[in-house]
Structure 1
Amino acid sequence: MRKVVLPGGSGFLGEALADYLIARGYEVVIFTRSSSRGESPRRYVQWDGKTRGDWVREISGSTAVVNFTGKSVNCIYTPKNKQEILQSRLDSVSVLHDVIKGSDDPPNAFIQAGSLAIFGDTTDVCDETSPHGTGFSVDVCQKWEEAFFSQEHIGTRRVLLRIGFALGKNGGALEPLRKLANRRLGGTVGSGKQYISWIHLDDLNEMFLTVIEQEEFEGIFNATGPSPVTNKEFMKTLRSVLNKGWSPKAPTPLVKVGAYVIMRAAPELALTGRRCVPDRFLRRGFTFRYMNLEQALQEIINE
């Protein structure tokens, strides 16, 4: 049986990908800091994200390693949190490179789950070759990508997917917005002009499967849908799908206070955005199931 290893794969994206792969006949092993999880239909193996352990034996003979490891950015950007956000990403990439390098039977592909945040806050259309932005999140992404591509391995492809705003059921970034809209608080956030580069989780999982199975996929890819929308349009569509009427806008000062005091997160997560397109996937003929935001939200919320 083909095996895919998911370091840091116990979160929303990793568990969804695990389900997707298992349904297609793959064995899935998830590396997690917790050792108290069940064993079926996937296996959980403990690791700390930076040092060798019993998990090393799972890498040998695997079809692919898909790394999701990294401290969540959904926090206040204190100096301590900033350091942990960066270091957790660099540490996991480093130790996985070391293990793959020393393996007698290395994986066919080493795939890194990255971020579109590397483009910063922009309304310009961004493909894989577009200039990077500025700021803390951009710096993290640049150092992260540099670390990932700093080592090559014979027989192992390196693929980095810059992931967009993934929309799916039972969690993820959509859930808090859905709750706000249901309470008639789902109005435009800030200026509303910031872009949301969204993708349905089914399409994202198919992207992962594609780069796992197809040898010609190598390098950096924007893993997002082809139809980014502004925050204003996104919230309007979400309210429509939920059958909610008008909601008051959330002005920038209020968002900043709410982010720090209530959400305990950095305001930039809500107030900034980027307008990205999956150019390299499109050029290779990738077919999206969900091209339209309303269609995607209807499937997630009402089906």
Structure 2
Amino acid sequence: MANKKVLLPGGSGFLGTSFANYLVTVGYEPIILTRSQQADRNGIKYVQWDGQTVGHWQSELEGATAVVNFTGKSVNCIYTKKNKEELIRSRLDSVKVIDEALKQTTNRPSVVIQAGSLAIFGNTTERCHEDSPHGDDFPSSICKQWEEAFFKEDITGVRKVLFRIGFALGKGGGALGPLLKLAKIGLGGTVGNGRQYISWLHIDDLNRMIVRAIENEAMTGVYNATSTEPVQNSEFMKSLRTSIGKGWAPPAPKFAVILGAYTFMRTEPSLALTGRRCYPQRLIDEGFSFSYTDLDQTLKELVG
């Protein structure tokens, strides 16, 4: 049997772990590159790396099928000078070091897939497809630098695909976790004016998109990884409350969101107050079949 190793740098978070578990079910051998030392489990191998330098982990690239890079400090933080630097550095360093390691590999993986973000479009209610204008806020600027760094190096025999990932919904963590906690204690009301869009997708669809990119040699460049039905925040929160059997909840006005974000959640309020209305135009054009396009059904299945 051909080697089916897939390296997942930074894969110990919610998205990476979910994808690793999915890979096992479809016959691949996931190897998570992580800063902490961990024992192999559930068919997943763990290898240490620092995300900045080529080390012993580079040998795992020999004969591997693909690399899927999930590395990057979580945006769920306050944008202090230190955090801003780390948000940028963690992303750019990993992209550069993976390229360096690939150049030192004889039998290279044929594809590198980068987990990016829809935040590149900024805060907008305009319909965004892959070629839409980019935003000009801090998260957009990170994404622009990140994408530029990823596509900068052309490595012989290596195809590059970048997924701008939306609000990924899955069990046991990720973007849904904090919202669910708030909804359960009666605080699942509309956030701010409620008109900001949430471009959501089910994690199962995301996992299938990534495997498709590994296996389909025609896939290259940038894709919006989101469902076909973005919704406004007011609609999303209502759907979330309904899924757990909660009725009306008081809205959280902008000032309360800002206060709560900085004081209690220790995060940037813009994460809740801004949004974007994105469409997976290229995936639709290329015939990708979504399993989850109805938000009510999706949330009922995940949390109901």
- Shorter-normalised TM-score: what interval? over 0.9
The residue identity in structure 2 corresponding to 1:122 is T
In the alignment, what sits opposite 1:198? 200
Q: How much does 1:295 deviate?
A: 1.2
The CA distance in 2 between the partners of 1:3 and 1:56, in whole Å, is 13
- Distance (whole Å) between structure 2 residues aligned to residue 98 and residue 81 of structure 1: 26
Which stretches in structure 2 are left out of the alignment for 5+ residues? none
Instruction: Find the counterpart in structure 2 of residue 171 from structure 1.
Output: 173
CA deviation vs aligned residue, 1:217-267 (integer Å, no higher than 9, x gap): 000000000000000000001111111011000000000010001000011
Partner of 1:146: 148
Structure 2 counterpart of 1:280? 282
Query: CA offset at residue 82 of structure 1?
Result: 0.0
| Count of matched residue pairs | 302
Task: Tell me if the contact between 2:54 and 2:100 (Cα under 8 Å) persists in the aligned partners.
Answer: no
4+ aligned runs moved over 6 Å, structure 1: none
3-state SS in 1 of match to 2:89? helix
Measured in 2, the distance between the counterparts of 1:232 and 1:40 equals 39
After TM superposition, the structure 1 = structure 2 runs for residues 86-125 of structure 1, keeping only pairs within 5 Å, are 86-125=88-127
- Note the 1:72-87 alignment, pairs <5 A: 72-87=74-89
**Distance apart, 1:36 and its partner CA:** 3.2
Q: CA–CA distance in 2 between the matches of 1:236 and 1:118?
A: 27
Residue equivalent to 2:73 = 71
String of CA shifts for 1:119-167, please: whole Å, max 9, x gaps.
0000000000000011110110000000000001111100000000000
Q: Deviations over 1:38-72 (max 9, x none)?
A: 44411100000001111010112111000000111
Q: Percent identity?
A: 57
- Counterparts in 2 of 1:217-256, with a 5 A limit? 217-256=219-258
Indicate if the aligned counterparts of 2:167 and 2:198 stay in contact, CA closer than 8 A: yes
**Counterpart selection for 1:128 from 127, 130, 145:** 130
Could you tell me which amino acid in structure 2 is paired with residue 212 of structure 1?
Answer: I
Q: Which residue of 1 aligns with 2:57?
A: 55
Once residues 278 and 162 of structure 2 are traced to their aligned partners in structure 1, the CA distance between those partners, rounded to angstroms, is 15
Q: Distance in 2 between matches of 1:38 and 1:219?
A: 33
2:188 to 186, 189, 200: 186
The alignment partner of 1:158 has SS state of: strand
TM-score by length of 2: 0.98
Measured in 2, the distance between the counterparts of 1:284 and 1:44 equals 34
Q: What's 2:20 paired with?
A: 18
1:259-289: CA deviations, max 9, x gaps? 0010000111000000000000000000000
CA distance in 2, matches of 1:166, 1:37: 27
Could you give the per-residue CA deviations for residues 175-200 of structure 1, whole angstroms, max 9, x where no partner exists? 11111111111000001000000000
Under a length normalisation based on structure 1, what TM-score does the superposition of the two structures give?
0.98
Q: Which secondary structure state, in structure 1, belongs to the residue aligned with residue 96 of structure 2?
A: helix
Gaps of 5+ in 1: none
State the superposition RMSD in angstroms: 0.8
Report the counterpart of residue 137 of structure 1 in structure 2.
139
Secondary structure (helix, strand or coil) at the match of 1:124 reads: strand
Distance 1:264 1:179 in 2: 16
Distance 1:40 1:240 in 2: 35
Separation (CA, whole Å) in 2 of partners of 1:124 and 1:298: 28
Give the residue type in structure 1 aligned to 2:25: A
Is the 8 Å Cα contact of residues 118 and 166 (structure 2) preserved in structure 1? yes
SS of the counterpart of 1:89? helix
**8 Å Cα contact 2:8/2:30 also seen in 1:** yes
Match of residue 9 from structure 1: 11
In 1: Cα distance, 2:183 partner to 2:92 partner: 37
Distance 2:189 2:114 in 1: 34
- State the Cα distance separating 1:88 from its structure 2 match: 0.6
